[in-house]
Amino acid sequence: MAAWTDESKQELIQDYLDANPTPETTIAIIGELATKFKGTVNSIRVTLNKAGVYVKKGTDKKADGEEAPKRTSKADAIAALTAAITDLGLEPDASIVDKLTGKAALYFAGIIRASETDAE
């Protein structure tokens, strides 16, 4: 599609809503609409997102069916690591800890907590 008109956007939105999108079906619906409207999947998703009707794909399960870890902010991850170090009776070096990524901070906090459990 060369350019979206107000009418084509409204038709797209209505077709999407009529398909009753769920987190499990939204990708397939978007693919069908991309074909119908001769647009890219991304342009369809962006248009629906801007309209406030896009249903995000479910991300609470990994491909193998396992539960995916919930997202944690970097600040929360750093706080968890700092607490784990402090619980050992040590003083965390903020100049080092603050430079870690959130993922790294959670990893190290998990190791510390696991070693505490193993020691008991």
Domain count, the chain: 2
78 and 41: one domain? no
**Dist CA 82 CA 93 (whole Å):** 9
Is residue 81 included in any domain, yes or no? Answer: yes
Kindly state the average pLDDT of the residues 65-83.
Answer: 79
Domain limits for position 109:
74-119
Is residue 97 included in any domain, yes or no? Answer: yes
CA distances from 90 to 46, 87, 112, 119 (A): 48, 7, 12, 16
The string of DSSP codes covering 75-96 is: HHHHHHHHHHHHHTT----HHH
Q: What is the pLDDT of residue 93?
A: 94
Q: What is the pTM of this model?
A: 0.49
Task: Give the DSSP H or E segment for 17.
Answer: helix 6-18
Is residue 40 included in any domain, yes or no? Answer: yes
78 and 115: one domain? yes
45 and 79: one domain? no
Tens digit of each residue's pLDDT (9 = 90 or more) over 105-114: 999 999 998 8
Kindly state the average pLDDT of the residues 54-60.
Answer: 73
